[in-house]
Amino acid sequence: MADNKFAAYICSGCGLGDQLDVKTLEKIAQKEGKMQVVKSHSFLCNAEGVQMIKDDIANEAVTHVCIAACSRRAKTEAFHFPTAAMSRANLREGVLWVVAAGEAHDEVRQEMANDYVRMGCAELKKMKLPEGNPDKAHSKRVLVVGGGMSGLTAAFEAAEAGYETVLVEKQAQLGGWAAKLWKRVPFKAPYTEPQDTGLAELAAKVGSHPLIKVHLNSRLAETSGAPGRFAVKIAQESGAVTEETVGSIVQATGFTGYDIARLPELGGGQANVVDQAGLEAMAMAANGATIKRVDGKEVKSVVFLQCAGQRDDSGKHLSYCSGHCCATSIKQAMYFKNANPAIDTAIMYQDLRVPGMGEDFYRSAQEKGVTFTKGKATGVESSGDGCKVSFRDLILDEETSINADLVVLATGQVPTAGVELDAWTQLTSEADGGSADAKQKKVEMEKVSILNLTYRQGPDLPQFKHGFADSHFICFPYETRRTGIYAAGPVRRPMDMLQATDDATGAALKAIQAVENASLGRAAHPRSGDLSFPQVRLEGCTQCKRCTVECPFGAIDEDEKRFPVFNEQRCRRCGTCMGACPVRVISFENYSVDTVGSQIKAVDMPDEFSERPRILILACENDAYPALDMAGLSRTVYSAFVRIIPVRCLGSVNTIWITDALNSGFDGVMMMGCKKGDDYQCHFVKGSELAHYRMSKIGDTLTQLGLEPERVVTQEVAITDNQRVVTLINDYVAQINELGMSPMKGFN
């Protein structure tokens, strides 16, 4: 600390100087905050103000900077000082814009500002300038697993951007599902006819590209390491094994069709009932001529049944819509009409979904004579030389039937995602327990694995309940819960070919971003560019394994002595491990138990007779804190009795912060985090869920302190909840006023 020099800079612009006593803030920073340099400026973010700070860093050896001005989310480019540690005290969005104007509120407004300056200075005192991960990883090669349309696109786009790419395909040729298609749904004007897939041209470009290395008849036998230094073993069908080092991975392993044998009620298993893939094979054999059944008979009438085994709310089949099936059936109906307009072609649907320019395609099919029937099939049975389809006509609201030579079931996409990790964990436990049957099942399950990760958490990507790769569907659609590994195409969510190629391009760009960040020792999404990384004091570690178990991203392994081993390149810097650690030995240079704990203790606590409660709000920086900022931007007033501390994720909240706050005399603690559950919106996947679970266990602590359980609450907040957060705050302050001031104030 001897070589550190601390400085505070207070802005009086944006009306701050009109409503706040800046001189008082300067005195607090100097006397209570122990800042060695304290300056104010009328417009701190302009060129003159920024230069003043830069000059002090360069000429006065300032190493730590506290900026008391606007939110930490504002003016980030202006207040960018790479050689100095920095804290931000939010006086504009957090005080000026949310406390009612007028002399009647001057005192509480000033108290609020005073505390935020104290908190900013206290945080700064506990911070270090992140130096970046010393173990930088330098491989910038991209590995693409899967040689279908998604994989080919990802490999080609990465190579075109100048990055070496390794493509692994388990089949003897490139193409995947697209190679099985006669034509594709139109993806460019005119949107009226099925179009060539374009696969041959793309495969040729990939095969001849100087930056792309292709492994056919191959699979990943092992994947270890982390972003920038993944070590992969590629096993060929011949038995040869090739080792490659890559920086990031795109998994584009596609999908398989839902098994029609599971749909006997719709004729699955009957000779004249096929799925869409089966019809594509017939169309390729016909090569533009009239399509024939497997028995050689020309099809004169065909019925397409949409949502076969999909959108099923019984739990027996797929609950989701696969997106492409309606347009695919329209395309396949045109196969028949283009070969022979006299063929009776009907598409039976409940809801017709044709994204993009699909409306033009649908109209074109109508003009060709394709019949669209709104109905729900109730059964398909053999009838004479064909099939009889029984259905409920949803327009006439009556039961009826139709005969056809061929029935085509529009079944859904099932992702080729590898091992389901919950099943793997359970099976591993049973196998380790000595069960011979479990050991055999585990061997069989290993053959299903795609990536064969050597991670403690299992060999493949975490999945949603239907097998799709788990990712943040709103903010980070390509990212998975394994840093540096990205999902693209139908392994991520159901989609058509056009969407899959767009998806693959996005995943390739994210893979490139990952290798660049890893080469600089920086974090990946969502804190992309963060140079901090986790540090652990092993001498204090109790080997409880909570950090290794609770890390959502598989960033922590264990050494031979069962101490945690951090794979920094895998780490997302969420701090979940820090929140999990009961002995508080895990921290980051610029975010730790002490940086937050010191802010809590820095708040000036009114006595129990002042009738001025203090409420601590720990707000997730990804959703809740932006919502609070937007409340300020809209000048929506909330209680001046709250003190807000942004946290990286609620998963990083250590229970000691709650205890410290209550012991310090805070009357209540509110945590604001993202939505949890199956449709979670937590940027760090499990953070909100873990925080909620931890707080559910804090009742004993409250009882020991003689406090009501209502004094600690957790709320789910979306980034758009700028009005709702105000209601939550004001209602909670009213509730605390009813409970009365904390009895702990008397001990401080």
> Residue 1 above 70 pLDDT?
no
- DSSP label of 74: S
Q: Is residue 222 domain-shared with residue 75, that is, in the same domain?
A: no
Among 107, 129, 151, the domain boundary falls at 129
- State the DSSP string of 98-128: TSPPSGGGHHHHHHHHHHHHHHHHHHHHT--
Distance between CA atoms of 738 and 4, rounded to whole angstroms? 46
443 in any annotated domain: no
Distance between CA atoms of 179 and 151, rounded to whole angstroms? 13
> Residue 474 above 90 pLDDT?
no
**DSSP H helical segments within 520-654, as ranges?**
546-550, 576-580, 593-602, 624-633
Report the pLDDT value the prediction gives residue 445, as an integer from 0 to 100.
Answer: 87
Q: Is residue 206 domain-shared with residue 305, that is, in the same domain?
A: no
Report the pLDDT value the prediction gives residue 597, as an integer from 0 to 100.
Answer: 97
Q: Report strand pairing: 413-415 vs 255-257.
A: antiparallel
Amino acid at 746: G
Distance between CA atoms of 606 and 301, rounded to whole angstroms? 83
Q: Is residue 201 domain-shared with residue 74, that is, in the same domain?
A: no
Distance between CA atoms of 109 and 414, rounded to whole angstroms? 57
Q: Is residue 474 domain-shared with residue 375, that is, in the same domain?
A: no
CB count within 10 Å of CB 496 equals 23
215 in any annotated domain: yes
Question: Which residue in 131, 481, 417 sits closest to 253, CA to CA?
Answer: 417
Contacts of 641 by beta carbon, 8 Å cutoff, 6+ apart? 108, 612, 613, 614, 615, 733
Determine which of 147-161, 466-480, 704-718 has the lowest per-residue pLDDT on average.
466-480
Residue 591 exposure: Cα atoms within 13 Å on the Cβ side: 22
Q: Report strand pairing: 241-246 vs 398-404.
A: unpaired
Q: Is residue 189 domain-shared with residue 219, that is, in the same domain?
A: yes
Report the pLDDT value the prediction gives residue 184, as an integer from 0 to 100.
Answer: 96
Q: Domain range holding 289? A: 257-415
Name 618's bridge partners.
645, 671
Look up tokens 């055999």; give the residue: 440
> Residue 657 above 80 pLDDT?
yes
Report the pLDDT value the prediction gives residue 745, as an integer from 0 to 100.
Answer: 77
Q: Is residue 206 domain-shared with residue 275, that is, in the same domain?
A: no
Question: Which residue in 185, 391, 368, 193 sits closest to 303, CA to CA?
Answer: 391
Report the pLDDT value the prediction gives residue 746, as an integer from 0 to 100.
Answer: 62
The total number of structural domains in the chain stands at: 3
Q: Is residue 161 domain-shared with residue 172, that is, in the same domain?
A: yes
CA 19 to chain centre: 41
Q: Is residue 364 domain-shared with residue 343, that is, in the same domain?
A: yes
Report the pLDDT value the prediction gives residue 168, as an integer from 0 to 100.
Answer: 98
Let me know the angle formed at the C-alpha of 421 by 417 and 427, rounded to the nearest 5 degrees.
125
Start-to-end Cα distance in the chain = 29
| Stronger pLDDT, 522 or 282, i.e. the higher one | 282
Predicted structure pTM score:
0.92
Q: Is residue 376 domain-shared with residue 503, that is, in the same domain?
A: no
- State the DSSP string of 649-716: -GGG--HHHHHHHHHHT-SEEEEEE---STT---TTSSHHHHHHHHHHTTHHHHHHHT--GGGEEEEE
Report the pLDDT value the prediction gives residue 705, as an integer from 0 to 100.
Answer: 78
